[in-house]
Amino acid sequence: MSDATSHTKVAPASAPVPVPAPAPAPVSHGTNHQLESVLSSCQPSLLHLLPILEELGVRGTEHMTALVRMREETRDREVKEEALRKGITVIEWAIFIDRLQSL
């Protein structure tokens, strides 16, 4: 006769899965007043993009000026494509660049 109790089978132990290192922390949002000001002045406000832009290295007036002065094809290839991968929409990018060009 078979035993009435159920036995749970345990899978053999597998190798530990490596955990990726955390990304470096972006610059504190409280210290990036120029970028905050530009993003909040956009219609609609793009302030929610601050962490992504900081990750991309856009942290101040000089960086924003450099973005505007880049040739469009270079900016698209080097910055826009990465921005889109990180979650910025095409329309948000267009609003941001348009705002930078009006400064």
Question: What 3 state SS string does the chain have?
Answer: CCCCCCCCCCCCCCCCCCCCCCCCCCCCHHHCHHHHHHHHHCCCCCHHHHHHHHHCCCCCHHHHHHHHHCCHHHHHHHHHHHHHHCCCCHHHHHHHHHHHHCC
Q: What is the pLDDT of residue 26?
A: 44
pTM of this structure: 0.69
Q: For residue range 43-62, what is the model confidence (pLDDT) as tens digits?
A: 999 999 999 999 999 988 99
Q: Give me the residues of the chain with pLDDT under 70, please.
A: 1-31
- Per-domain residue ranges of the chain: 30-101
